[in-house]
Amino acid sequence: MHCSARWLLPKLILSASILSGCHSVKRQEPAPQPIAAASVPEPSYLAFSELIAKGTKLAISERAHAHVGQRVKLVGYMANLELPPDGAFYLAPIAVTCDEAGDGTAELPLNSVLVTSSNAVAKPVPHIDGLIEVVGKFEVGRTTDSLGRATWFRLTLDDSVASNQPTPAKFALRASP
């Protein structure tokens, strides 16, 4: 006589529960599945090389303008500034260290992006070595901060992501392998 394991296992469980004095057999329910969060669109990857238009004239690219107000993902290096902005940092396509003695942020590559967070604290963000990935709302256009530092590209980190990350300074940073 041939017995199927699928048929045999429930019979053994039922027999064991009867022999142990249990009067009812509890069926093991599957673990509840987590409820999916509100559908957040996948961010578009934006490369630093796509921020400045190709050619001899220095201008913001059409691709950068097309991503204004959208969620984007950037991967780059946190600029190591002698006097970093409070509650923000610059993300650059290359690892760079800037001496603020006379040039301010003039040593940063033109396509560097100022990364901010709406829930950041008003103190410098600790520097992170290596590649990091940031996701947030992308903006373009010249703006200056209270110290007169100009920037053409900005990214405001997703609040939902930033609030779930404990460090550094509540920024959503993830070191790349």
Domain boundaries, the chain: 44-175
- In this structure, CATH architecture of domain 44-175: Beta Barrel (2.40)
Whole-structure pTM value: 0.67
Q: What is the pLDDT of residue 75?
A: 95
> How would you classify the pairing of strands 71-78 and 113-116?
unpaired
Give the mean pLDDT of the chain.
Answer: 74
pLDDT at 14 over 50: no
pLDDT band at 95 (very low <50, low <70, confident <90, very high): very high
Average pLDDT over residues 87-97: 91
